[in-house]
Amino acid sequence: MTQKHLLTDIFKWIFICVLIGFFSGSASAFFLVSLEFVTQFRIQHDWIIWFLPIGGLLVGFSYYHWGESVVKGNNLLLEEYENPKKVIPFKMAPLVLSGTLLTHLFGGSAGREGTAVQMGGAIADQFTKYFNLDNSERKILIILGISAGFASVFGTPLTGAIFALEVLYFSKINFKSIILSFLVAYVAFFTVELWDVKHTHYSIPVVPALSTGSLFYTMIVGLLSGLAALLFARSTHFWSSLFSKNIKYAPLRPFVGGIILAIAFAGFGLTKFSGLGVPAIVDSFSNANPWYDFLLKILFTGFTLGAGFKGGEVTPLFFVGAALGSALSLIIPMPIAFLSGLGFVAVFSGATHTPVACTIMGMELFGIQPGIFIAIACTIAYFSSGSVGIYKSQIVKGVKYKLYQKLQRKELKNL
Render pLDDT for 136-166 as a digit per residue (tens, 0 to 9): 899 999 999 999 999 999 999 999 999 999 9
- What is the mean pLDDT of the segment spanning 198-202? 91
- What is the mean pLDDT of the segment spanning 307-316? 95
pLDDT in tens, 373-388: 999 999 999 999 988 8
Q: What is the per-residue pLDDT for 401?
A: 67
Report the CATH number that the domain containing residue 359 is assigned in CATH. Answer: 1.10.3080.10
In terms of residue numbers, what domain contains 356?
Answer: 212-399
Regarding whether 153 and 55 lie in a shared domain, the answer is yes
Domain count, the chain: 2
| CA 254/CA 307 separation, integer angstroms | 5
Regarding whether 356 and 219 lie in a shared domain, the answer is yes
Regarding whether 25 and 94 lie in a shared domain, the answer is yes
Of residues 239, 202, 214, the one with CA closest to residue 319? 202
Regarding whether 244 and 95 lie in a shared domain, the answer is no
In a domain? residue 53: yes
Q: Pick left, alpha or beta for residue 79 (phi over 0 → left; psi -120 to 50 → alpha; otherwise beta).
A: alpha
Regarding whether 364 and 220 lie in a shared domain, the answer is yes
Q: Give the confidence band of 175 by pLDDT, cuts at 50, 70, 90.
A: confident
Regarding whether 285 and 394 lie in a shared domain, the answer is yes
| CA 178/CA 165 separation, integer angstroms | 7
pLDDT in tens, 41-88: 999 999 999 999 999 999 999 999 999 999 999 999 999 999 988 999
pLDDT at residue 410 greater than cutoff 90: no
pTM above 0.85, yes or no: yes
Contact between residue 83 and residue 120 where contact means Cβ atoms under 8 Å apart: no
Regarding whether 274 and 177 lie in a shared domain, the answer is no
In a domain? residue 200: no
In a domain? residue 405: no
| CA 31/CA 331 separation, integer angstroms | 39
Regarding whether 31 and 149 lie in a shared domain, the answer is yes
Q: Give the confidence band of 412 by pLDDT, cuts at 50, 70, 90.
A: very low
